[in-house]
Amino acid sequence: MKNRPVTGSRVSDEAASWSMRLDAGNLSSSEQEQLAKWLTESPDHVEELLIMNALWSTLDNIGQDISLPNLESTDVVHLDSIKATDIGNTSRFFPNMNIFKKLSIAATFTIGIAIVLLSTVTNNKNYHIESYATETGEQRNIVLGDGSTILLNTQSYLEVAYDENVRRVNIIEGEALFSVVQDENRPFRVGAGVAVFEAIGTQFNVNRKHKDVTMTVIEGVVSVSSQPQTTSDYARGEGSDDRQMPTNVPKTEVVVSAGQASLVKSDGTLAYLKEADIYQTIAWKERVLVFRDATLGYIAEEFNRYNETKIVITDKELAQTRLTAVLHAHRLDALFETLQTATHIHIDKVGEYKVFLRNVTNPKGV
């Protein structure tokens, strides 16, 4: 096992991005330079890029019978076409077949078993799914068939599936504000990781960031439940049913009313906040960020969600500095101005898209 987490980390993000940039081809000389610089920063970068490229190259042999996820019509993704006929395709995995003639029959037999074992069939559910995504700094208003609206915040991705019995939304990442038109026969159900929120007609905000999901009710009532991962999911190494629409009728755990909030953690733990700050919660609509006694690390992270220019803080102590401020999400200059008043912070702009915040008393960082 690795003694440090790599997947899901920033290194892994960057490696994936570089790998795909290389796949696109024609890197500009400045991109080549950036890549060279990134690679020389750490052996972890080298390792992760090699692995990412290796995985990408493994996908070269993707089954020709793998079908394109259905993006418009009523059937959802039908990618499960791993059939017994795949055995007919094995030659592409064994281009040097003559070599293997030298091998024992037993060994060949092993391949046969491996392939048969791989021919697993999985179930699919049928929905009509629409997906919506926003780029960095983008906000998008979505009007659904029933008149309900979703305001999608920056760097967010969600999927919507309506049928005659239920209105389903699944937040894969990011934040959204829901205004739900009342329909007693068709509950409005929002899934976000292990959390499920259900409303009939109301307004509420869901924020899925990292592993936690915060839901704040602006108007009306929302029921909150969580569906912890089952042991069999763990055993299969699949994690929770994260990418699926919330299907089961959720078991009500907590009812949250206007002005209140709930927090669901990735392990299914559910917390309830009696007095939420509504203004702070939905200020993002106006691209206003409200920080009350927030750490600089958190503030940087929030600004980074909205802007291509990224704030980097390497000094741990500095990242823990607390600040109260109301700022426009795109006004980095205003943030820096506020920070200038704190004398121990040095603001160092590097290139067009990076700003390092450094501790003057400890300039190298920890």
Partner 1 sequence: MEEPSIEPNATVLEDQYDKVYGFVLRRVRNASDAQDLAQEAYSRLLGMETRQFIKQPAAYLYRIASNLTYEYARNKHRTVSLQEFEDIENIDILSSTGTEEALDDQVYNIRLLKHLEKSLKSMPKMYAAVVVLRKRDGMSHNEIAERLDISTHTVHKYLTRAMKICREASEKFK
The residue (of 8 and 147) whose beta carbon lies closer to partner 1 is 8
Which amino acid is it at 14? E
Residues 6+ apart with CB under 8 A from 306: 136, 137, 154, 287, 289, 329, 330
In the complex, the smallest distance separating the C-beta of residue 145 from partner 1, rounded to whole angstroms, is 19
The residue (of 239 and 363) whose beta carbon lies closer to partner 1 is 239
Residue 56: C-alpha distances to residues 7, 16, 66 (Å)? 15, 9, 16
In the complex, the smallest distance separating the C-beta of residue 350 from partner 1, rounded to whole angstroms, is 17
The residue (of 55 and 342) whose beta carbon lies closer to partner 1 is 55
In the complex, the smallest distance separating the C-beta of residue 2 from partner 1, rounded to whole angstroms, is 5
Give the CA-trace dihedral at 43, 47, 50, 56, to 10 degrees: -140
In the complex, the smallest distance separating the C-beta of residue 333 from partner 1, rounded to whole angstroms, is 25
Q: CA 266, CA 213: separation in Å to the nearest integer?
A: 8
Q: Which pairing describes strands 203-209 and 254-257: parallel, antiparallel, or unpaired?
A: unpaired
The residue (of 52 and 345) whose beta carbon lies closer to partner 1 is 52
In the complex, the smallest distance separating the C-beta of residue 129 from partner 1, rounded to whole angstroms, is 7
> Residue 45: helix, strand or coil by DSSP?
helix
The residue (of 63 and 145) whose beta carbon lies closer to partner 1 is 63
Q: CA 281, CA 290: separation in Å to the nearest integer?
A: 8
